[in-house]
């Protein structure tokens, strides 16, 4: 059987797979398989190991004549056309659970870095712009004891709430349904989205990318937020109207934003959002901790092999 892996993973995980299957992958750790090569290779492939950067769309499904299973090394699968996969009886696996804590860590790190202007401070030193201590130089927002509003109280949302509790934050959340456990264990309070936006000092977006959440944060939502509020997005770029975010940040409607995800990735350094001092931007590294990525790769391989060998996937989307 032929497997395509659009990214390289460490040999210790890859070698046992190579003994059993014909594996087609990239040569470098620093680049993903090109779309052109993927479309060519997919024709006679039985399995595909993919990630958030590949577009698994109708064009690809049309090419794939033998494909049985697609395994993404990610919890999110908004880049995969599920309808097309379902139509063709192709199984889809993903990697929830193993990246929860790493992503919650990064989300909280970004919240702290954005609130306390860490990047601006580091840049000032690096660029030799620090002239010495001043009473109100690079003053940011307090974090301890403030109100955090978490949009999307799934696994990662709960992880962020747990960290927020350690900072004695007042925890508000909005979710499709109430999360009784988060309410009981973490003292989180369910509120309507408008209330969350009005009351929070930190608004953290962790909603999955769906038709309903597409650009759910736009002008009206930013206008509801406090002028001192910090907005954090570690979910998907498409959940945010980036033009509206730019306006809100530039006009002082909100105070700052910490972004790990963008509508078009990789975002260009010339993008207008990146010209703002009150934006802290990261290159989609929410789950990028070594152990986490190893666990994601291991789980994605297990899903793939199980699917090919007729066993149930560990985590199956469809």
Q: Please give the positions annotated as active site.
A: 236, 265, 284
Taking CB under 6 A as the criterion, the residue among 47, 76, 93, 149 binding ligand DGY is: 76
CB 218 within 8 A of CB 246: no
List 258's β-bridge partners, or say none: 232, 280
CB of 206 vs ligand DGY, minimal distance in Å: 11
Nearer residue to ligand DGY within complex by CB, 75 or 314: 75
CB of 77 vs ligand DGY, minimal distance in Å: 8
CB of 8 vs ligand DGY, minimal distance in Å: 16
Residues 6+ apart with CB under 8 A from 276: 246, 249, 250
Residues 237-243: contacts with CB under 8 Å, at least 24 apart: 237/261, 237/262, 237/263, 237/264, 237/265, 238/78, 238/209, 238/213, 238/214, 238/263, 239/205, 239/207, 239/209, 239/213, 239/214, 239/215, 240/205, 240/215, 240/216, 241/215, 241/217, 242/273
Establish if 9 lies at the interface with ligand DGY (CB under 6 A): no
Site for ligand DGY in 92-151 (CB under 6 A): 99
Q: Which stretch binds ligand DGY (CB under 6 A): 68-76, 167-175, 178-186, 239-247?
A: 68-76
Nearer residue to ligand DGY within complex by CB, 69 or 99: 99
Of the candidates 55, 8, 47, 10, the residue with the CA atom closest to the CA atom of residue 31: 8
Report the Cα 298 to chain-centroid distance in Å.
19
For ligand DGY, which residue has the nearest CB? 76
- DSSP string over 65-110: SS--EEEESSS--TTB-HHHHHHTT-EEE---STTHHHHHHHHHHH
Q: Which stretch binds ligand DGY (CB under 6 A): 20-28, 37-45, 73-81, 107-115?
A: 73-81
List 257's β-bridge partners, or say none: 231, 279
CB 198 within 8 A of CB 215: no
Site string for ligand DGY, 277-296 (x = CB under 6 A): ---------xx---------
Nearer residue to ligand DGY within complex by CB, 201 or 242: 242
CB of 282 vs ligand DGY, minimal distance in Å: 12
Site for ligand DGY in 42-61 (CB under 6 A): 52
CB of 286 vs ligand DGY, minimal distance in Å: 6
Establish if 75 lies at the interface with ligand DGY (CB under 6 A): yes
Nearer residue to ligand DGY within complex by CB, 206 or 216: 206
Please give the angle made by the CA atoms of 110, 264 and 63, to the nearest 5 degrees: 130
Nearer residue to ligand DGY within complex by CB, 75 or 229: 75
- Count of residues that bind ligand DGY according to CB under 6 A: 7
Residues 6+ apart with CB under 8 A from 189: 170, 171, 172, 173, 183
CB of 288 vs ligand DGY, minimal distance in Å: 7
Establish if 213 lies at the interface with ligand DGY (CB under 6 A): no
Instruction: List residues binding ligand DGY (CB under 6 A).
Output: 52, 74-76, 99, 286-287
């Amino acid at each position: 059987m032929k497997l395509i892996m659009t990214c390289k993973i460490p040999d210790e995980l890859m070698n046992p797979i190579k003994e059993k299957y014909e594996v087609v992958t990239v040569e470098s750790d620093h680049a993903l398989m090109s779309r052109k090569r993927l479309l060519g290779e997919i024709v006679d492939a039985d399995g595909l190991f993919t990630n958030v950067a590949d577009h698994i769309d109708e064009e690809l499904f049309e090419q794939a004549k033998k494909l049985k299973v697609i395994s993404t090394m990610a919890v999110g699968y908004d880049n995969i056309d599920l309808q097309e996969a379902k139509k063709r009886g192709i199984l889809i696996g993903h990697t929830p659970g193993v990246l929860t804590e790493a992503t919650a860590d990064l989300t909280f790190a970004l919240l702290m870095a954005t609130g306390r202007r860490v990047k601006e401070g580091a840049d000032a030193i690096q660029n030799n712009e620090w002239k010495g201590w001043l009473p109100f130089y690079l003053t940011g927002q307090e974090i301890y004891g403030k109100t955090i509003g978490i949009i999307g109280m799934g696994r990662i949302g709960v992880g962020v709430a747990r960290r927020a509790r350690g900072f004695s934050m007042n925890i508000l959340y909005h979710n499709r349904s109430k999360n009784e456990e988060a309410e009981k264990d973490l003292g989180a309070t369910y509120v309507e989205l408008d209330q969350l936006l009005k009351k929070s000092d930190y608004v953290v977006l962790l909603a999955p990318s769906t038709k309903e959440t597409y650009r759910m944060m736009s002008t009206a939502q930013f206008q509801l937020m406090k002028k001192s509020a910090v907005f954090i997005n570690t979910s998907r770029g498409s959940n945010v109207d980036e033009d509206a975010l730019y306006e809100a940040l530039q006009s002082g409607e909100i105070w700052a934003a910490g972004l790990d995800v963008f509508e078009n990735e990789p975002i260009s350094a010339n993008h207008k959002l990146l010209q703002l001092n009150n934006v802290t931007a990261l290159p989609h590294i929410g789950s990028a901790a070594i152990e986490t990525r190893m666990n994601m790769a291991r789980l994605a391989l297990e899903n793939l092999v199980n699917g090919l060998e007729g066993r149930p996937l560990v985590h199956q989307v469809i």
